[in-house]
Amino acid sequence: MFANGWILLAMLSVLSVLLLWRRIRDRLRRNKWLALIPGPSALPILGNTLEINVAHDEIFTRMSTNMQIWGGMETGINRFWLGSQPYVFLYRCDTVEPILTSSKHIEKSYDYNYLHPWLGTGLLTSKGQKWHSRRKILTPTFHFRILEDFMEVFTEQSDILVQKLEKEVNNSGFNIFPYATLFALDVICETAMGIRLNAQDNQNSEYVKAIYDLGDIILTRQARIWLQNEKIFRFSKYFKKHSECIKVLHGFSNKVIQERKEEVRQKKLNDANKIDDVDVIGIKKRLAFLDLLIEASKDGAYLSNEDIREEVDTFMFEGHDTTSAAISWCLFLIGSDMKIQEKVYEEIERVLGDDPITSKALAELKYLECCIKEALRLFPSVPMLGRILREDTNIAGYLVPAGTTTAIMVYVMHRDPKTFPHPEVYDPDRFLPENCLGRHPYAYVPFSAGPRNCIGQKFAMLEEKCAIATVLRNYRIEAVDRRENLVLLGELILRPKDGLTIKITPRKSN
């Protein structure tokens, strides 16, 4: 008996040594291959964290100029160590292609974990089978017929935006970002949840404030390495506020979900004859994404209450911040070039005249769409994308080992002079059909690309075209800020540190 114990102990010891040796061997192999990729020398334990130990508003500049600082101009790839976690930064369309085209490299990087307390593992942050099943369920909710139903929301909220801007007429300048953000919040709340938030009328609402406060806390965690540790964060001054925001946001979503579920239940009870799905969950009433999720849940068989809340919260988050940034940047850039602005306005007048805006009319605003695409080239709402490699991958002639995080630098890719000559010039003509011929399919990826592309890009484009067309229909825009003086923050979205200052004058006198 005693001998058997020694044998077991010996076997466990040998197994432990073998596992340790395998881990060391794999680590040495990984480090060997990573050392061949251009990048700065790394310190033990800290890695290259000191390289980004700079002021918050300098981090994005440092990250987007890595290629010039650390080498890799020829290959479009850099290596970087954030503590013990290896990263590779990718700057060119040919280097990102192996990632974006793959059905294996779809897992988001660890940087998205800070969103889990709010969004859980919804479509944005989930992985593996859960992501595949959610994507399959949610794709039909962006069918063109459903998007058509949202046009009323787009036009109503765009008209409110124009009304709110009236107080800024003839002012020397104001920041367009807050106006665009509240507009986008109202749109996504009504289309995702089916209720009116009235953020444009009540920017001090508890829900709006919670979104802003939580966003600030998440950005602070990403910028301060010590706060990335969950235990340390729980003892920080931010944790209490973080918990309060989550409570407000989840409480709001849960309340709306329960109310809508009860409405659906009552409609079904009151309906003696079973008719088509659209009538069952809202006769003569446009459907919110929430309604479609409730129907898809099959009374909890496919989606639980928590699953539904994850997706609704994800729509709320992704559907307002990125869109508001795109609208703000586009108006600012159009306001920086009067020739471009007059060309857009002439198209709007020719297509719309005095008629209400429809989806068919928006489809005919081709030049406006080019303006939006060019704005997203220069200032993509999401300036970088993070993925974790789950298997060894050849990129730009280098073997990048499994477990490495890839940072796709969209902001830099969009400025490749080989694809976009004179890349800093705002030129909507780049996106005329004849000028897009032969362009690499991954040279322009403001909505990502491949299997994990943005599911709501058609929704976003309709909303942005409607808002911008409505504003330009009513106001002449003039940019006050100069682009070269803007300080960019590459946080959850790409935003200017001090906003975007424009001024407006009415197009037509009353």
Question: The domain that contains 229 carries what CATH number?
Answer: 1.10.630.10
Task: Please check whether residue 327 lies inside any domain of the structure.
Answer: yes
pLDDT at residue 152 tops 80: yes
Of 173-187, 199-213, 451-465, 489-503, the range with the lowest mean pLDDT is 199-213
Q: Name the token pair of 131.
A: 């992501």
Q: Name the token pair of 302.
A: 């496919």
Q: What is the pLDDT of residue 301?
A: 63
Q: What is the pLDDT of residue 163?
A: 96
Helix (H) or strand (E) holding 175: strand 174-175
Q: What is the pLDDT of residue 271?
A: 64
Interval 70-94: pLDDT, tens: 776 778 899 988 888 899 999 999 9
What is the spatial distance between Cα 459 and Cα 141, in angstroms, rounded to a whole number?
10
Q: ∠329-462-458 over CA atoms, to 5°? A: 100
Which one-letter amino acid corresponds to residue 87? Answer: Y
What percent of the chain clears pLDDT 90, i.e. is strictly above it?
45
Mean pLDDT of 201-205: 77
Closest-CA residue to 82 (of 388, 375, 336):
388
Compute the Cα dihedral for 466, 471, 476, 481 and give only its sign: negative
Task: Please check whether residue 39 lies inside any domain of the structure.
Answer: no
Q: What is the pLDDT of residue 332?
A: 98
What percent of the chain clears pLDDT 70, i.e. is strictly above it?
90
Residue 324 pLDDT level (bands cut at 50, 70, 90) = very high
Tokens 């979104």 belong to 211
Closest-CA residue to 133 (of 317, 307, 365):
307
- Are 426 and 378 a contacting pair, CB within 8 Å? yes
- Are 65 and 40 a contacting pair, CB within 8 Å? no
Total Cβ atoms within 10 A of residue 288: 27
Task: Please check whether residue 181 lies inside any domain of the structure.
Answer: yes
Q: What is the pLDDT of residue 82?
A: 83
- Give 494's contacts (C-beta < 8 A, 6+ positions apart): 60, 325, 379, 380, 381, 382, 383, 411, 488
Q: pTM to 2 decimals?
A: 0.89
Long-range contacts for 295-304 (Cβ within 8 Å, ≥24 apart)? 295/264, 296/137, 302/137, 303/137
Task: Please check whether residue 29 lies inside any domain of the structure.
Answer: no
Q: What is the pLDDT of residue 103?
A: 84
Most confident range (mean pLDDT) of 103-117, 146-160, 357-371 is 357-371
Task: Please check whether residue 338 lies inside any domain of the structure.
Answer: yes
CA quadruple 83, 85, 90, 91: dihedral, nearest 10: -10
Interval 445-490: pLDDT, tens: 999 988 888 888 999 999 999 999 999 999 999 999 999 999 998 7
Q: Name the token pair of 128.
A: 């593996």
Q: Name the token pair of 381.
A: 């709402």
Q: Name the token pair of 373.
A: 């695409």
3-state secondary structure of 352: helix
DSSP string, 454-498: -TTHHHHHHHHHHHHHHHHHHEEEEE-S-GGG--EEESSSEEETT
Mean pLDDT of 107-134: 84
Which one-letter amino acid corresponds to residue 74? Answer: E
Interval 216-231: pLDDT, tens: 888 778 767 788 888 9
pLDDT at residue 45 tops 70: yes
Total Cβ atoms within 10 A of residue 246: 16
What is the spatial distance between Cα 133 and Cα 114, in angstroms, rounded to a whole number?
23
Interval 255-311: pLDDT, tens: 888 888 887 777 777 764 554 544 444 434 566 788 888 887 766 667 788 888 888
What is the spatial distance between Cα 503 and Cα 482, in angstroms, rounded to a whole number?
13
Q: What is the pLDDT of residue 379?
A: 96
Give me the chain's average pLDDT, please.
86
Of 9-18, 150-159, 305-314, the range with the lowest mean pLDDT is 9-18
Number of domains in the chain: 1
Tokens 């765009």 belong to 158
Total Cβ atoms within 10 A of residue 188: 28
Q: What interhelical angle do 177-192 and 305-334 show, nearest 10?
A: 150
Q: What is the pLDDT of residue 65?
A: 78
What is the spatial distance between Cα 140 and Cα 137, in angstroms, rounded to a whole number?
7
pLDDT at residue 366 tops 90: yes
Q: What is the pLDDT of residue 2?
A: 55
Interval 493-510: pLDDT, tens: 888 989 999 999 998 754
121 versus 69: which is more confidently predicted?
121
3-state per-residue secondary structure call for 74-140:
CCCEEEEEECCEEEEEECCHHHHHHHHCCCCCCCECHHHHHHHHHHCCCCCCCCHHHHHHHHHHHHH
Task: Please check whether residue 167 lies inside any domain of the structure.
Answer: yes
- Are 217 and 224 a contacting pair, CB within 8 Å? no
Q: Name the token pair of 217.
A: 């806390």
Task: Please check whether residue 30 lies inside any domain of the structure.
Answer: no
- Give 126's contacts (C-beta < 8 A, 6+ positions apart): 134
Mean pLDDT of 199-217: 82
Q: What is the pLDDT of residue 280?
A: 40
Q: What interhelical angle do 366-378 and 457-474 show, nearest 10?
A: 110
What is the spatial distance between Cα 408 and Cα 426, in angstroms, rounded to a whole number?
23
Q: ∠364-367-371 over CA atoms, to 5°? A: 130
pLDDT at residue 114 tops 80: yes
Burial class of 438 by CB neighbour count within 10 A (0 to 12, 13 to 18, 19+) = exposed
442 versus 85: which is more confidently predicted?
442
User: What range defines the domain where residue 154 resides?
Assistant: 50-113+120-506
Q: Name the token pair of 284.
A: 């003569």
Chain centroid offset of residue 81 CA: 24
What is the spatial distance between Cα 408 and Cα 417, in angstroms, rounded to a whole number?
17
Most confident range (mean pLDDT) of 48-62, 73-87, 274-288, 394-408 is 394-408
Q: What is the pLDDT of residue 502?
A: 97
Q: Name the token pair of 98.
A: 């192996």
Task: Please check whether residue 376 lies inside any domain of the structure.
Answer: yes
